[in-house]
Structure 1
Amino acid sequence: MPSTVTSRRKQLGNEIRRARSAAGMTQQEVADFLGCGQGKVNKIESGAVSVKTAELKRLLELFGAGKAESDLMLELASSSSTQRGQWSGYRSAIPQWFRTFTDLEPAATEVLSWHGERIPGPLQSEHYMLTQFTEDRVADVTPLVRNRLDRRKVFDLDRPPYYRFILGEGAFHRMPGGAQPAVALDQVEHLLQLERRYPRVFVHVLPFDVRLPFVPNDFTIMRFGDGTKDFIFVEHVAGGLYIDDDQDFELFVDAWDRLRGAALERHDTVDHLRALADRFRAGMDF
Structure 2
Amino acid sequence: MSSTVTSRRRQLGNEIRRARVAAGLTQQDVAELLGCGQAKINKIETGTVSVKLSDLKQMLDAFGVARTDAEMMTELARVSGQRGQWAGYRSAVPHWFRTFTDLEPAASEILSWHGERIPGPLQSEHYMLKQFSEARATDVTSLVRNRLERKQIFQLKRPPYYRFIIGEAAFRRMPGGPNPSVALDQVEHLLDLEKSYPKAFIHILPFDTRLSFVPNDFTMMRFSDATKDFVFIEHAAGGVYIEDEADFELFVDAWDRLRGAALERNETAEFLEGLAQDFREQVEV
**TM-score normalised to structure 2 length:** 0.97
| Residue 140 (structure 1) shift | 2.4
Q: In structure 2, how many angstroms separate the alpha carbons of the residues matched to 1:278 and 1:24?
A: 64
| Residue 90 (structure 1) shift | 3.4
Q: For the Cα contact (< 8 Å) 1:4–1:83, is it kept in 2? A: no
After the TM superposition, which residues 269-284 of structure 1 pair with which residues of structure 2 at under 5 Å, given as runs?
A: 269-283=268-282
Question: In 2 relative to 1, CA 191–118 (structure 1 residues): closer, same or farther, beyond 3 Å?
Answer: same
- Name the counterpart of 1:31: 31
The SS at the match of 1:283 is helix
- Name the counterpart of 1:215: 214
Does 2:244 match 1:245?
yes
Does 2:153 match 1:154?
yes
After the TM superposition, which residues 104-143 of structure 1 pair with which residues of structure 2 at under 5 Å, given as runs?
A: 104-143=103-142
Question: In 2 relative to 1, CA 115–272 (structure 1 residues): closer, same or farther, beyond 3 Å?
Answer: same
- Name the counterpart of 2:11: 11
Does 2:168 match 1:180?
no
- Name the counterpart of 2:54: 54
Q: In structure 1, how many angstroms separate the alpha carbons of the residues matched to 2:171 and 2:73?
A: 46
The SS at the match of 1:177 is coil
Q: Quick check: 64-73 or 154-163, which moved more?
A: 64-73
| Residue 263 (structure 1) shift | 0.5
Q: For the Cα contact (< 8 Å) 2:90–2:142, is it kept in 1? A: no
The SS at the match of 1:282 is helix
Question: In 2 relative to 1, CA 138–103 (structure 1 residues): closer, same or farther, beyond 3 Å?
Answer: same
Q: In structure 2, how many angstroms separate the alpha carbons of the residues matched to 1:64 and 1:89?
A: 43
Q: In structure 2, how many angstroms separate the alpha carbons of the residues matched to 1:197 and 1:107?
A: 21
Specify the code of the residue in structure 1 equivalent to 2:66.
Answer: G
- Name the counterpart of 1:268: 267
- Name the counterpart of 1:204: 203
Q: In structure 1, how many angstroms separate the alpha carbons of the residues matched to 2:44 and 2:87?
A: 22
Gaps of 5+ in 1: none
Q: In structure 1, how many angstroms separate the alpha carbons of the residues matched to 2:27 and 2:90?
A: 32
Q: For the Cα contact (< 8 Å) 2:129–2:144, is it kept in 1? A: yes
The SS at the match of 1:204 is strand
Q: In structure 2, how many angstroms separate the alpha carbons of the residues matched to 1:137 and 1:83?
A: 30
Q: In structure 2, how many angstroms separate the alpha carbons of the residues matched to 1:77 and 1:211?
A: 49
| Residue 26 (structure 1) shift | 1.1
Specify the code of the residue in structure 2 equivalent to 1:54.
Answer: S
Q: For the Cα contact (< 8 Å) 1:91–1:99, is it kept in 2? A: no
Specify the code of the residue in structure 1 equivalent to 2:26.
Answer: T
Q: In structure 2, how many angstroms separate the alpha carbons of the residues matched to 1:91 and 1:101?
A: 14
Question: In 2 relative to 1, CA 238–92 (structure 1 residues): closer, same or farther, beyond 3 Å?
Answer: same
Specify the code of the residue in structure 2 equivalent to 1:33.
Answer: L
Q: In structure 1, how many angstroms separate the alpha carbons of the residues matched to 2:2 and 2:109?
A: 16
| Aligned residues with identical type, % of pairs | 69
Question: Where do 4+ consecutive residues of structure 1 move more than 6 Å?
Answer: none
Specify the code of the residue in structure 1 equivalent to 2:193.
Answer: L
Q: In structure 1, how many angstroms separate the alpha carbons of the residues matched to 2:83 and 2:141?
A: 26
Specify the code of the residue in structure 2 equivalent to 1:183.
Answer: V
Q: For the Cα contact (< 8 Å) 2:2–2:105, is it kept in 1? A: no
Q: In structure 2, how many angstroms separate the alpha carbons of the residues matched to 1:29 and 1:89?
A: 41
The CA RMSD over aligned residues, in Å, is 1.3
1:206-225 deviations in Å (ceiling 9; x for gaps): 01111111000000000111
1:220-257 deviations in Å (ceiling 9; x for gaps): 00011121001100000010000110100000000001
| Residue 88 (structure 1) shift | 6.7
Q: For the Cα contact (< 8 Å) 2:127–2:182, is it kept in 1? A: yes
- Name the counterpart of 2:91: 92
| Residue 8 (structure 1) shift | 0.2
Q: For the Cα contact (< 8 Å) 2:51–2:81, is it kept in 1? A: no
- Name the counterpart of 2:232: 233
| Residue 89 (structure 1) shift | 6.0
Number of residue pairs matched? 283
Q: For the Cα contact (< 8 Å) 2:110–2:219, is it kept in 1? A: yes
Q: In structure 2, how many angstroms separate the alpha carbons of the residues matched to 1:192 and 1:241?
A: 31
The SS at the match of 2:97 is helix
